[in-house]
A and B are shown apart, each in its own frame.
Chain A
Amino acid sequence: AQSVTQLGSHVSVSEGALVLLRCNYSSSVPPYLFWYVQYPNQGLQLLLKYTTGATLVKGINGFEAEFKKSETSFHLTKPSAHMSDAAEYFCAVTGTGNQFYFGTGTSLTVIP
């Protein structure tokens, strides 16, 4: 079985500060992990994904995430927050079936 846990349903950062959104996973098979972003009244947009290979993954809009097997984590970071980063962020994992398992989401607020 696969699942993800997002720690912190709300995160606030100042503009220009580091963004850190936490995600831990549980998987009985090698996981494929994803971060999605959702702006109000919109669909989900893929930020980045980890499948195999390099554990540091770079995505769009300056975001990156590091797969740490020993910590079962896949935290999302961005060195400098921008006002346009304010959105809902979802971590997801997929196994060998056709399902994606989403975390409960983290709402990011950027303070000017």
Chain B
Amino acid sequence: DTEVTQTPKHLVMGMTNKKSLKCEQHMGHRAMYWYKQKAKKPPELMFVYSYEKLSINESVPSRFSPECPNSSLLNLHLHALQPEDSALYLCASSLRDRGGSRAEAFFGQGTRLTVV
């Protein structure tokens, strides 16, 4: 199984709503990532979890709240978003061991988020 599964595929939410994006992988990867991607732009790193601990937060606004309940799951909780937060949100995972292995990242299909 070399898949990263993201749900939902599409999400429309109002600016006062609370919603969550989910990501799951069963490849035994210990690094998991959230990226935000605007149209015609490269993915922008938001968060990195390494061994279920948040290791990188790229100065993301607090209206985005990540969570890593276990080594297979990654959530992104959304609250009070703005229309400019509309984008494709990508989850990825990679095999990163404590020795510094630099394996490739596997990406999910993304969640297309529209904030109205």
A binding-site residues for B, Cβ under 8 Å: 32, 34, 36, 41-46, 49, 51, 88, 90, 94-100, 102-105, 107
Contact = CB atoms under 8 A, between A and B. Distances in A.
Contact of B104 (A34, A43, A90, A102): A34
Interface of B: 4, 6, 31, 33, 40-43, 45, 48, 50, 55-56, 88, 90, 92, 94, 96, 100, 102, 104-110, 112
Contacts, number: 59
Given A43-B108, A45-B107, A51-B102, 10 more contacts: A43-B4, A43-B109, A49-B104, A88-B40, A94-B102, A96-B100, A97-B56, A99-B56, A100-B105, A105-B42
B88 to A, nearest CB: 7
A99 B102 contact: no
A32 B96 CA distance: 13
Contacts of B90: 43-44
Nearest to A88: B40
Interface SS majority for chain B: strand
Contacts of A95: 102
A44 B43 contact: yes
A98 B40 contact: no
Contacts of B42: 90, 102-105
Contacts of A42: 109-110
Contact of B96 (A88, A98, A103, A105): A98
Contacts of A51: 102
